[in-house]
Structure 1
Amino acid sequence: MRLLTFITLFIVCQSTTEAARISGRVTDEKGQILVYASILIKGSTQGTTANKAGDYFLQLDAGTYTIVAQYVGYNRQEKTITVGTEDITLNFQLSLQQLSLKEVVVRPGAQDPAYEIIRNAIKKRPYYLNQLKTFQSEVYIKGQLQLRAYPKKFLGEKIEFEDGDTSKIKMLFLSETIARYSVENGKRSKIEVLSTRVSGRSDEFGLSTPQIVSFYENNIQVGRGLNPRGFISPIASSALNFYRYHYEGSFVEDGREINRIKVTPKRRYEPLFSGYINITEGDWRIHSLQLQLTKASQMEIIDSLKIEQLYVPYNNDVWVIKTQVLYPAVKLFGFDAYGSFVNVYSKFDINPTFERKFFNNTYLKIYEGSNKKPAAFWDSIRPLPLQLEEITDYRKKDSLEKAHKDPRYLDSIDRRRNKLHLFPLVATGQNFYREKKRETYSFYPLLQTVAYNTVEGWLVNLGGRYTKRLDTVPASRRALGIEPAVRYGFSNRHFNSAATVTYTHGRKYFSSFSISGGKWVNQINNNNPISQLSNTIRSWLFERNYAKFYEAWYGRFNFSKDVGNGLTFFGGMKYEDRIPLENTSNYSFGDRKDIAFTPNFPIEVMTENFQRHQALIGTIGVSWLPGTKYIEYPERIVNIGSRYPTFTFSYSKGIHNWLGSDIDYAKWRFDVSESIDLNLGGNFRYKAVIGGFMNRDSVAVIDYTHFNGNQILASVEYLNGFQLLPYYKYSNMNRLYAEGHIEHHFNGLLTNKIPAFRNLNLYLVMGANALYADSDKEYVEVFAGFENLLKIARFDFVWGFEKGRVAAFGVRLGIRGFGKL
């Protein structure tokens, strides 16, 4: 590694001795800085970009060059220089573009001339979209995010930063990346990270996705999560239905006339841009643009996003993007942040030759050592100079990172992080850290520790998790987890204890296996459709003991293994000595005389509790996601999904007579699920399941096919259950069953037309769930509701149908991130 660094520095030093440095500043006529102005060598796509202070530099060999400075909305300026061995200072002062208006005969009711220009651009849009479908380029990416204000406390906790700086203005994030971006036929792409760095985080990899926001697309995705429907381009095929246009005038560059068009949304609360787009006359291509998105564009998370782009000629027919800058800004919970993310594209090759199998399932590849390059390397390769605040941030945070590795600092961090806090103690669980030993101790929250049910009465459930990271790489997956738990019921006086040991690993693909055992209390439906908190509330307050329990001595082994190409194998073996339980408590807060607790077994399928028995069950399965894409880090590979459905098959066998097992059956299950992005139309999701018993010589109720029902206000997992179905009503051991779940998320479609809903940013969601077990066991439910309430909540109205008639009606509430309430 040291030898490689020495060779790199030697080459850099040699090259700089034969070239001169051209540097300067780009301002307007009033001396105001033109942020991220483009500097080009005329007649080529070579060049650089000024930084936020307007400063730039170039390294040029001896010769005569014409240097061009450009900035959207300003006249470009050209200067010819002769380069020798001496450095040259070359400043530019750009003037606002003086737009010339064409002679237009204005008649009453006549359209603005901008509309004819836009129509021509719309006609040419497919041509330019497909013109450059294969290319390769190098991209420099720099992203920074800064705070300009923040609250003293958040959720009752004091806001502190590890740098000890209490000023309101501070750099939150600073990163640089050099990547190679390759595209073939517009369908296959690959990003190779050649070098990257993050201020104060030497083991991380920064921003590595050089997304080109192509306004030649009809529907544009800017980042992730800003708007699930995407945004409509000002030159989309349907753009005239969404935008108003105004002709501002034209200017001339290199003999080309370029039209400046003001773009305005026709309606608020639509996914639309506003700003300016410059279109060349005659060939109707995008020259440059300055467009903006706001909250009125149905953006989520951030308040505003400004996009600037500049295209330059590669040859007489092909233009390529030179610079793209995104400026986000957000105000949330008292935090006020803004940033800039600049991409500088260079070294374009529009006829690249790719090696065989160059394009594979790896979408992003980060090379070994890419984040270990010295500062001298970055100074030699960076296309735009750092600002003083960026230099200071690198120096300060890199020094802090070294200090933070001191054992005394790690101890102080542990002391600060390990203070007890009320909310984690009650609701989420308290964590304690030992950073030097790379250990974490987690403990159940109070809401999970104390509970009530009719079998155990009031109970105490104490447990937690110990995690030990076994690799030195922070993001690695080699770790050991131990989860012990003890449980005591004050009514039945049963003491239970169990533990699980999990080992995760996989330098390339993820793998895990776990061993567990002990004596514990389980739900008869092992999918645990009713949370402990929900059951406590329903039983104690409303005398509804929906959950049905049994006790078991058990031992279990599970494994999961990713093998690539979207394939994951999983399976396990379980032994249980199953002990029936009966109600021992009828206490409730309300003590309602009109309601009685039901027995502790599913009365829908049983008339009495099961007999104690033993069960040995083996399971094996496979999950396949075709077309899976991966991010390949030096030490691991991460699955980032696919646009195809996920297929999963599993087979379970109850093994008779082994270890005294009393059961004897075989059952199978096949399911397919997918999330389909319909852009402006929203998002459609579905899951279809089919399965059944192949043989059923001896089947215990615990091993029936159970469906995830729901009889409480909190919603069950949407594509994995039924919102109104009684928990055990349709449990069966049939040879064949089927279930299906569909839902459509409108993501602002329709509700953006209704003032009350669009102001609250509520989204409509609709769908249905259905199951079939036999002619007597058919059930359908339909629902409609609203999501995105306070960003986290969803509220549904649900109707359940049996034999074509409405059998139930209810409302359900889901809260994102809280799982089963």
Structure 2
Amino acid sequence: MRLSTFISVCLLWLPFVAFAGGIRGTVKSDEGSVLAFATIFVKQTGTGTTTNENGLYEITLPAGSYQLVYQYLGYESVVKQIEVGSGFTEVNIELKTQVVVLKDVIVRAGKEDPAYTIMRKAISKAKYHTQAIDRYSARVYIKGAGQLKDYPWLAKKTLEKEGITKDRVYISESVSDISYTRPNTFDEKVISIRSDGKDNNTSPNPFIFGSFYQPEVAETVSPLSPKAFAYYRFQLMGTFKDREFEINRIKVTPRSRGDNVVEGIIYIVDDWWSIHSLDVKTTKMGVNIGIKMLYAPIEDKAWLPISNKFDIQGKFFGFEFVYNYLATISDYQITMNPELYVEEMQVVDEKLDKEQAKEIEEKYGEKNQQLQERMASGKEISRKELRGMLKDYEKQERKQQSAPEVVSNNTYKIDSLAYKKNNTYWDSIRPVPLTKAEVKGYQIADSIAVVEKKKEEGDTLKQSKHKGFQPWDIILGDSYKISKHSNFRIHTPLGGFNTVEGFNIIYRLSLGTVIQDTNKTRFSVSPTLRYAFSREKLTGLLTTRLYNKNYRLELQGGRYVKQYNQEEPIWPLVNTFTTLLLEQNLMKLYERDFVNLLYRQKLSNKISFHTNWALMKRRELFNTSSFKLIDRKKIEDYTPNAPFNEEIDNTSFPEHEAFIGSAGLVIRPWIKYRIRNGNKQEIPFSSPVFTLDYRKGFNQVFGSDVNFDQVEAGIKHRFDVGVRGTVDFAFQGGMFLNKDKLYFMDFKHFLGNRTPFATSDPVGSFRLLDYYQFSTSDKYFTANVHYHFRKFLVTAFPIIRMTGIRENVFVNYLASPTSNNYTEIGYSIDGILRIFRLEAAASFQNGKYQDYGFRIGIATSIGINFSED
């Protein structure tokens, strides 16, 4: 046993002994201050690292001779040839402040800044930089460190009980192998994770795979986007030499500050017209994000990032936090695209050099003749030619792709041994030394993990809670894992108040299981019970579902109450509020005994089919409760449970049978997808959504007493209007081809609202419209248009815009036989306290003012799902 233990220890240490040497030291400025997160790049190995907050760095290397490049934005790079032996060599570096020289160019009144021609060339070549590399692989070290800087005093005791204090740093580290294959495949495999003391407890930070060569990065317009000049102003601050390269330092200023734009400095390599580095900042919903990226010439063929740093600061409801993300990329292996890659390319800006561009056009013609040959020989090409060639190249390549609608295909995996690495491993591989605060953060996390583990081992009550049912679960609800593929859930009971049932309570259970693991097909059964105290009646329904990502089959039946509008626009909680506190019983209900069969099928990536068949016995309900929490003398009594409608005098109905079927299509002809670990994810608003539906009431089938036919078509989409804002629109129209026999719940109803709260999709619903006043069994048309401003009234002030506040103007229109061109015009402020929306609207009929109102909703960027299905 002793011999085997000795051999095991030797084998464990062998990899670290072989690479026990390297280089360590400090990087300072010529003024003596340490340079935090300076970049060190090893040219021979493609290895990179950065200094920590104290300017310390450390690189493990086998014995040999290496050329190291020390870089920091605003300072001159230093190249050192260093011999590495069996131990660590200490190399302390002093970087001199960068001498920036303004080019000998005179900017006269009316003339553009020289930065514009530099940026035009860089923008024209941005697509080339993404297409010139066929493939690359690299290793990346990622460190995330977060700290809660402040929090409300009310939360202090709770947070400290969980070990959360203002001085504690939460830190995580991981190492991943990444690879990219043109045009859109990116793979990341996490090979090691620094655990916080509990096995498999730490979730690693993924590598932020984003390129400023793309037109947008996380919905933020890049300075290298083709539309960048509409969003930014550029100013050449000067040039400097970095090794043998000439670098242009360009100031980027948004024309309108706020979300989705950056500001700061971008450095462009002359002649290459590639990114050398950038130091910019942006905001997202009031959260400040600083971005520093440093690139290096890999194999002298392409400039690729070797370090990414993100500094994030924000404050929500008194909770102030900071988070720092650092990624150092090393060990690049690149393969260039033989169809596009050239060693030199001279790009001519036809806007500045008109005569030269004209000569090129006359010499080679207007159809990019011999363009690739000219590129390969280093001869001049115009921006227009380069842009056209790359566009044609991508077009032809898309035709050859099996799935051109897939924008990105990413995989993210964690190696099974990722959590098994010990501290010795991390001390040897970590490219950035930890700070004292980060070391302390690990120590606190390890200590808490030990205490929690002991509690779990000794807390038999806690163990038993997770083993089975507890009595209080009946009231609070809980989930239980029955087997590997099955689970059971008691849903938290819900309830409310309405004048038909009085107070009611809804109790639901569900049992789900995976019946086919290959495509994640699930089967579920869910009974629901509902007791109405005023009616003294118990009703319920049973729902069974069979579904996966491609289809859904649902069978539902029972006796249950339902709103006349089958889209159920009034939330029970909101109706409880308006009824008990405002004496407005807006929800109108009827009861049905029913069996309902629903089927949805994805026919292709672009087309989905759905059909619904219902056999019902429907009966009218009446008010049974006059209970009032607040008695308003101005309001005599609750309104009857009979909707008011302009088209028919009486919406009451006798008990009857109804058999109704419907079928429809959802078509998204230009839908785009992202794939992550094999799962397709639709890109919102990448295509307009077209809908087509047909609904029929069958006469004398299963005793049915209805006879009607209805057709409906619609379109919904969102698109940007340049730099000014975004437009959302939804148009829908239809008609009843036959209306021989139908009841009020069969009419076409619209998403109205008479409550103080906006709970429906903002695009497709009304703010002041009565729920049933203009419901129709004839022709109808609705239009909803929202304009989201980047800068309007209050957002004209940058300090407000930077907090995440947005302004919208909307118009809603309804045409039906009795609506008299009902129109709403409204204004809303979005993002109040990050999550709320405040709206004001006025309504008109035939242009004549009718009413006004205010509504409170959830911010459209957070809470509203613009689902197309």
Q: TM-score range by the shorter chain?
A: 0.7 to 0.9
Give the 3 Å change call, closer, same or farther, for CA 138–819 of structure 1 in structure 2.
Answer: closer
Tell me how far 1:706 sits from its aligned partner.
1.0
| Structure-1 residue corresponding to 2:561 | 521
Deviation at 1:451, TM superposition (A): 0.9
Match of 2:591 in 1: 551
Q: Deviations over 1:667-717 (max 9, x none)?
A: 333322222244632221111223333443432221111111122322252
State the AA in 2 paired with 1:443. T
Give the CA deviation at 1:790: 2.0
Q: Deviations over 1:305-336 (max 9, x none)?
A: 22112222347675333332212122332342
Q: Could you say what secondary structure the match of 1:278 adopts?
A: strand
When residues 430 and 417 of structure 1 are mapped into structure 2, their CA distance, relative to the original with a 3 A threshold, is farther
What amino acid is the match of 2:431? L
Secondary structure, aligned partner of 1:652: strand
Question: Would the alpha carbon gap of residues 35 and 360 (structure 1) be closer, same or farther in structure 2, given more than 3 Å must change?
Answer: farther
Q: What residue is the counterpart of 2:57 in the other structure?
A: 55
Task: Tell me the TM-score normalized by structure 1.
Answer: 0.78
Match of 1:442 among 488, 491, 500: 491
**Residue 132 (structure 1) shift:** 1.4
Summarize the Cα distance change of 1:102–1:664 in structure 2 as closer, same or farther, 3 Å threshold: closer
CA–CA distance in structure 2, aligned partners of residues 527 and 658 of structure 1: 25
User: How far does residue 374 in structure 1 lie from its aligned partner after superposition?
Assistant: 6.1
Q: Which amino acid aligns with 1:552?
A: R
Query: Would the aligned equivalents of 2:147 and 2:168 in 1 still touch at CA under 8 Å?
Result: yes
- 1:326 and 2:333 matched: no
Match in the other structure for 2:726:
683
Contact 1:137 1:181 in 2 (8 A): yes
Equivalences for residues 443-592 of structure 1 within 5 A: 443-445=492-494, 449-453=495-499, 455-456=500-501, 458-466=502-510, 478=522, 480=524, 482-490=526-534, 493-503=535-545, 506=548, 509=549, 511-562=551-602, 565-586=605-626, 588=628, 589-590=630-631, 592=633
Which residue type is aligned with residue 743 of structure 1? H
Q: TM-score, length-normalised on structure 2?
A: 0.74
- Distance in structure 2 (CA, Å) of the matches to 1:204 and 1:651: 51
> How many residue pairs were aligned?
767
Equivalent position of 1:793 in the other structure? 836
What is the one-letter code of the residue matched to 2:57? D
State yes or no: 1:384 paired with 2:427: no
Matched, 1:653 2:642: no
Measure, in 2, the Cα distance between the counterparts of 1:569 and 1:204: 42
Superposed CA deviations along residues 249-297 of structure 1, whole A, max 9, x for unmatched, are 654332334354566778876876554443445666542232234xxxx
How far apart are the structure 2 equivalents of 1:105 and 1:702? Answer: 75
Any gaps of 5 or more consecutive residues in structure 1?
1-10, 225-229
SS at match of 2:771: coil
CA distance in 1, matches of 2:768, 2:554: 34
| Residues 533 and 257 (structure 1), Cα distance of their counterparts in 2 relative to 1, 3 Å cut | closer
Alpha-carbon contact 1:615-1:662 (below 8 Å) kept: yes
* CA distance in 2 between partners of 1:290 and 1:167 (Å): 28
CA distance in 2, matches of 1:394, 1:619: 61
Distance 2:121 2:64 in 1: 39
Unaligned runs of 5+ in 2: 1-10, 340-396
Residue 656 of structure 2 corresponds to residue 613 of structure 1: yes
> 1:156, CA displacement in angstroms?
9.5
* 1:336 aligned onto 2:321: yes
Q: Secondary structure at the match of 2:126?
A: helix
Q: Is the 8 A contact 1:361 1:565 kept in 2?
A: no
The answer to whether the 8 Å contact 2:170/2:442 transfers is no
SS of match in other structure, 1:659: coil
Q: In the TM superposition, what is the alpha-carbon distance from 1:771 to its structure 2 partner?
A: 2.5
What secondary structure is seen at the aligned counterpart in 1 of 2:816? strand
CA contact (8 A) 2:285 2:803 kept: no
Change (3 A) 1:468 1:17: same
Shift of 1:791: 1.9
Cα shift at 1:550:
1.0
What is the CA distance between 1:166 and its match in structure 2?
6.1
Give the counterpart of 1:733 among 777, 781, 799: 777
Q: Which amino acid aligns with 1:365?
A: N
RMSD value, Cα: 5.0
2:267 to 278, 283, 295: 278
**2:644 matched to 1:600?**
no
Matches within 5 A, 1:391-430: 392=442, 396=446, 412=462, 430=476
- Counterpart for residue 70 of structure 1: 71
Distance 1:597 1:278, change over 3 A: closer
Question: Equivalents in 1 of 2:719, 2:545: separation in Å?
Answer: 34
Residue 231 and residue 712 in structure 1: after superposition, are their counterparts in 2 closer, same or farther (change >3 A)?
A: same
| Cα deviation, residue 95, structure 1 | 1.6
**Which letter does structure 2 place at the counterpart of 1:212?**
G
Partner residue, 2:186:
191
Cα distance in 1 between the residues matched to 2:602 and 2:692:
15
Q: Distance in 2 between matches of 1:650 and 1:618?
A: 11
Taking the aligned partners of 1:98 and 1:74, their CA distance within structure 2 comes to: 4
Is 1:708–1:716's contact at 8 Å kept on the other side of the alignment? Answer: no
Structure 1 residues 798, 441: CA separation in 2 closer, same or farther (over 3 Å shift)?
same
- Which one-letter code corresponds to 2:709 in the other structure? A
User: Matched residue of 1:138: which SS?
Assistant: strand
Cα distance in 2, alignment partners of residues 542 and 664 from structure 1: 39
C-alpha distance in 2, partners of 1:608/1:408? 65
3-state secondary structure, aligned to 1:660 = coil
Identity %: 20
CA distance in 2, matches of 1:470, 1:400: 36
Match 1:364 to one of 395, 401, 409: 409
Report the Cα offset of residue 37 of structure 1.
3.6
Contact in 2 for aligned 1:201/1:401 (Cα 8 Å)? no
The structure-2 alpha-carbon separation of the partners of 1:744 and 1:519, relative to structure 1 and needing over 3 Å to count, comes to same
1:227 corresponds to: none
Residue equivalent to 1:665: 708
Letter of the aligned partner of 2:753 in structure 1?
Answer: N
Say if 1:496 and 1:520, in contact at 8 Å, map to a contact too: no
Q: Is the 8 A contact 1:190 1:359 kept in 2?
A: no
Is the CA contact (8 Å cut-off) linking 1:20 and 1:83 kept in structure 2? no
Output the amino acid matched with 1:74: Y
Task: Note closer, same or farther for the CA distance 1:680–1:237 as it changes in structure 2 (3 Å cut).
Answer: closer
In the aligned structure 2, how far is the partner of 1:409 from the partner of 1:357?
56
Instruction: Report the Cα distance in structure 1 between the residues aligned to 2:737 and 2:230, rounded to whole angstroms.
Output: 59
Q: Separation in 2 of the partners of 1:15 and 1:343?
A: 22
Q: Per the alignment, in what secondary structure is the counterpart of residue 702 of structure 2?
A: helix
Which of 271, 278, 281 aligns to 1:292? It is: 281
Residue 824 (structure 2) pairs with residue 784 (structure 1): no
1:608-664 deviation line (CA, Å, top 9, x unaligned): 510101123333434343433133336x55444451122333333334444332223
Counterparts of 2:447 and 2:136 in 1: how far apart (Å)?
A: 31
Displacement of 1:71 after TM fit? 2.4
SS at match of 2:122: helix
**Does the residue aligned with 2:75 lie in a helix, a strand or coil?**
coil
- CA displacement at 1:578 relative to structure 2: 0.7
Q: Which SS does the other structure have where 1:291 is aligned?
A: strand
The one-letter amino acid paired with 1:211 is F
Quickly say closer, same or farther: Cα 1:477–1:209, change in 2 above 3 A. Answer: farther
Contact 1:77–1:92, Cα closer than 8 Å, also in 2:
no
* C-alpha distance after superposition, 1:144-191 (max 9, x if no partner): 1412445477679823787x576741316555543323343xxxx232
Say which SS state the counterpart of residue 821 (structure 2) adopts. Answer: strand
Q: Is the 8 A contact 1:66 1:81 kept in 2?
A: yes
How far apart in 1 are the matches of 2:714 and 2:281?
43
**Residue in structure 2 matching 1:712, options 752, 755, 763:** 755
Q: Distance in 2 between matches of 1:724 and 1:512?
A: 35
TM-aligned CA distance change 1:628 to 1:610, over 3 Å? same
The alpha carbon displacement at 1:243 in A equals 5.4
- 1:432: which partner in 2? 478
Paired residue secondary structure (1:533): helix
- Judged with a 3 Å threshold, the aligned counterparts in structure 2 of structure 1 residues 271 and 385 are, in CA distance, closer, same or farther, namely closer
Distance change in 2, residues 1:645/1:806 (3 Å): same
